[in-house]
Amino acid sequence: MLKKSALAFMLLLSLAGCKSKDAFNYSQDFVKKERALIPEITSTESKVKLFLAAEQYDSIAAAGERMESLVNATLKSVKDAPAPDAKEGENFKEAVVSYFAFIKSMYTLYKDFGNAKTPEAREAEMEKLRAIVDKKRDAINAIQGAQKKYADANNFKLETQ
């Protein structure tokens, strides 16, 4: 009897360990997706500053459209994948989707700004862009909070940079 109880306990522990590992892997997959975009984001931001100074609006639109497409591919891969079978899995997946959707919306506004036909239309798009950039810290805080809650619920530590 004691042997069966010990075996059942070991089985339960191994299943819990697998779920925690799966939860950790899902979190790490998010980090990899985010980090994969960083070089493109950095390059695009530098180029857009130069394009803006030179009033090359069509180039801003092209850069925005390119990034919108890149981020959308990442967003689609997150949406298409199942949420992890772990505590807070659905909530974390929703937070990841919201985060990438936020980033995509910034580049949609770059595209819209660059495609605006008049100075007035560009100013209106710039106001929208300023408003969304003001929400950037909130978006970062939201994904970090969701990731911490997910990690805590699944008993793993987040890696810090």
Ordered by start, the domain boundaries in the chain are 23-153
Two tokens, residue 135: 């929400």
161 confidence band (pLDDT: 50, 70, 90): low
- 133 three-class SS: helix
The string of DSSP codes covering 47-75 is HHHHHHHTT-HHHHHHHHHHHHHHHHHHH
- The three-state secondary structure class of 140 is helix
Report the pLDDT averaged over residues 69-95. 96
pLDDT exceeding 90 applies to what percent of the chain?
A: 83
Residue 155 has pLDDT above 60, yes or no: yes
Report the candidate in 124, 81, 126, 127 with the shortest Cα–Cα distance to residue 100. Answer: 81
- As a whole number of angstroms, the distance between CA 78 and CA 153 comes to 21
Mean per-residue pLDDT for 118-145?
Answer: 96
What's the CA gap between 44 and 69, in Å, rounded? 13
pLDDT in the model for residue 66? 98
Look at the chain and count its residues: 161
Residue given tokens 């100013």 in the structure block: 123
Tokens 């985010």 appear where?
34
Q: What is the pTM of this model?
A: 0.85
Contact 105, 69 (CB under 8 A): no
Which residue, chain included where needed, has tokens 């979190």?
A: 27
Please report which confidence band the pLDDT of residue 94 belongs to, taking 50, 70 and 90 as the band edges.
very high
Q: What is the pLDDT of residue 19?
A: 59
Return mean pLDDT, the chain.
89
Query: 94 with 100: CB under 8 angstroms?
Result: no
Residue range 23-34, pLDDT digits in tens: 999 999 999 999
